[in-house]
Amino acid sequence: MSVKTVFLCVIIAFCSLCFSCGESDKTPMSSAERNVYRSESKVGKESSPHCVTVYRYDDFPLATAETLCKELRKTFPEVKLSDTVLELPAKYYLKERNRYSASGLLNDLKSRSNCDAVIGLTNRIIYHANEISSTYGIMGLSRIGTHSCVVSSRIPASGKTHSIDNFVKLALHELGHAYGLPHCPDQHCYMVDAEHKMKFPHTTGLCTSCHSKLKAAGWKLK
């Protein structure tokens, strides 16, 4: 083997080593890390909508929606209850479990945002796939930082209706996600992970960290 050939092989080996080290340093983020990264990048953006539009689905009680709006106005600069009552899309209904797809309803709401944050209210049980079941009953759903969410007044496990106090906390929890917040480890914060339990009766408000992030996003917080 000539000296020129040996020298060329050394150069190729060196370059290969450099490229492989560069790739190994790029550790992929977990899905949870990606959610936190996305939320940190979106909370506090000037483009965050300062108006929340509330939509009722089907026969959701008007009085409950009006009470919720009254409570939300203590937190948001502007909250309006739409005169348009939405029909629950039949394509998102799962007859076998008598419940609606929460992610499907989110897709429906997204088209109605019109630069506002939107929250959909339903008194039907909603579901979302998780590690337990593909049709797991949930209280609400929001995609982090998308400014849209859906909440149900029905408690999936019992079928009973939320108290208005817990329903307001649920709405604030999902709106917190909608404005970019992940779950919070503080067990008394509205943003705590329910972990398949009913924790809202034990929550007392937003923790200092969540409070400051949402205030930066335009929430009317003291």
- Identify whether 85 is part of a domain: yes
Structural domain harbouring 60: 49-182
Q: How would you class 89 by CB atoms within 10 Å of its CB: exposed for 0-12, middle for 13-18, buried for 19 or more?
A: middle
Interval 131-163: pLDDT, tens: 999 999 999 999 898 999 999 999 998 999 999
- Identify whether 18 is part of a domain: no
Please, which residues bridge with residue 205 across strands?
Answer: 189
Q: Please give the torsion angle defined by the CA atoms of residues 202, 134, 153 and 61, in that order, rounded to the nearest 10 degrees.
A: 170
- Identify whether 103 is part of a domain: yes
pTM: 0.78
- Identify whether 132 is part of a domain: yes
- Identify whether 111 is part of a domain: yes
- Identify whether 167 is part of a domain: yes
Relative orientation angle of helices 164-178 and 62-72, to the nearest 10 degrees: 60
- Identify whether 164 is part of a domain: yes
Please, which residues bridge with residue 150 across strands?
Answer: 120, 141
- Identify whether 221 is part of a domain: no
Sign of CA dihedral 65, 71, 206, 162: negative
How many Cα atoms sit within 13 Å of 172 on the Cβ side? 30
Q: Collect the ranges in the chain with pLDDT lower than 70.
A: 1-47, 222
CA angle, residues 214, 195, 188, in degrees to nearest 5: 45
How many structural domains is the chain composed of?
A: 1
- Where residue 174 sits, what CATH number does that domain have? 3.40.390.10
